[in-house]
Amino acid sequence: MRAHQQISEDLVQYALGELTSPESGEVREHLDTCPACRRELEDIHTGMAALAMSTAASAPPARSRARLLKAVAAEPRSQAVVMRRPWWNFMPAFAAVLLAIISMLLWRENSSLRNRNEALRNEVQSQEQSAAKAEAVLQTLTAPDAAHFTLVAANTKPQPQGRATYLRNRSSLVFVASNLAPVNPGKTYELWLLPQSGSAPIPAGTFKPDARGNASVLLPALPSEVAAKGFAVTIENEGGSNTPTMPIVMAGL
């Protein structure tokens, strides 16, 4: 087998396929055991690729083969060739990324504006509902044809008291109470409309007093055009009942 130096001198011809089959086999066997020659062969391939990229794509004429071999052998073998693209080649990609960023920012801004608008609409709607309810309460309290009932409890100090204002033609009721005792857990007060016809009492809303014993029932849903002869209050299970549970806590006729 030939020496290392001889194999190294033949690496250019080996890379170009100019060696005979026995010579190529000898070079391959040497490359399996020689890292230095493998690196040198990689440098030769790199140089050949650089020359191929800098010349025309067609094969060189036969008379230029010797000059090609000489040029490849003269190429620096330890230096990689880096092909740099002009900066303006990156402009389409940069513009696409910039457009995506701007689109995302606009989407987030629009989403934030939609959320704020929705919150404002909800707030306005809530205020309008509160104002409408306040107007209905005021009309009930001040209507000249409203009937007023005072509900009291006997033999207690301070005396619990309730006042119901009922407007029959609108089925509108406002009830306020004071000095009420707290109810046990799972229990609630319930207000009842007592019809003039003598039919069964009609549930008119549940309530619990605050720390001072005050409570109210404002504009509960009631059947239309029911004439009331009075109102009463009982203590029921949480959630209310469809029929009163005795005893009656307060009543006003």
DSSP-assigned letters across all residues of 23-58: HHHHHHHHHHH-HHHHHHHHHHHHHHHHHHHHS-SS
Q: What is the pLDDT of residues 148-184, one digit of tens each?
A: 888 877 666 688 999 999 999 999 999 999 999 999 9
Please give the pLDDT value at position 53: 60
Query: Please, which pLDDT band fits residue 42 given cuts at 50, 70 and 90?
Result: confident
pLDDT, greater one: 244 or 60: 244
For residue 211, what pLDDT is reported? Answer: 93
- Residue 131 domain-assigned? no
What are the tens digits of pLDDT across the range 47-86?
676 665 654 444 555 544 555 565 555 555 544 444 455 6
Round to whole Å and give the CA distance between 222 and 208: 20
**Residue 167: its pLDDT value, please?**
93
| Domain carrying residue 38 | 4-74
Whether 190 is covered by a domain: the verdict is: yes
- How confident is the prediction for the chain on average, in pLDDT? 81
Residue 94: inside a domain, yes or no? no
Domain end among 74, 101, 136:
74
| Both structure tokens of 148 | 């007023």
Q: Is residue 81 part of a domain?
A: no
CATH code where residue 69 lies: 1.10.10
Domain end position, chosen among 74, 89, 105 = 74
- For 119-144, letters b (16+ CB in 10 Å) and e give eeeeeeeeeeeeeeeeebbeebeebe
At 186 the three-state DSSP class reads coil
Say what the pLDDT of residue 94 is. 63
Residue 11 lies in a domain: yes
- When divided into structural domains, the chain yields a total of 2
Encode 27-57: b = buried (16+ Cβ within 10 Å), e = exposed. beebbeebeebeebbebbebbbebeeeeeee
DSSP label at residue 128: H
The structure tokens listed for 153 are 């409890």
d(CA 250, CA 209): 14
Q: What pLDDT score was predicted for residue 156? A: 60
The rounded percent of the chain whose pLDDT value lies above 90 is: 35
User: Which of 26, 55, 74 finishes a domain?
Assistant: 74
Most confident of the following: 30-34, 60-64, 96-100, 211-215: 211-215
Per-residue DSSP letter, 17: T
In a domain, 125, yes or no: no
Share of the chain above pLDDT 70, in %: 78
pLDDT above 50 (res 12): yes
pLDDT at position 154, please? 61
**Distance from C-alpha of 121 to C-alpha of 117, rounded to nearest angstrom:** 6
Q: Tell me: the pLDDT tens digits for 119-144?
A: 888 888 888 888 888 888 888 888 88
Cβ atoms of residues 137 and 182 within 8 Å = no
> CATH number for the domain including 191?
2.60.40
Interval 181-190 mean pLDDT = 96
**Same domain, yes or no: 68 and 152:** no
Could you give the angle at which helices 35-54 and 65-74 cross, rounded to 10 degrees? 120
* Same domain membership, residue 67 and residue 159: no
Q: For residue 68, tell me if it sits in a domain.
A: yes
Res 72: pLDDT = 55
- Other beta carbons within 10 Å of 174: 22
- 114, 79 Cβ separation under 8 angstroms: no
In a domain, 84, yes or no: no
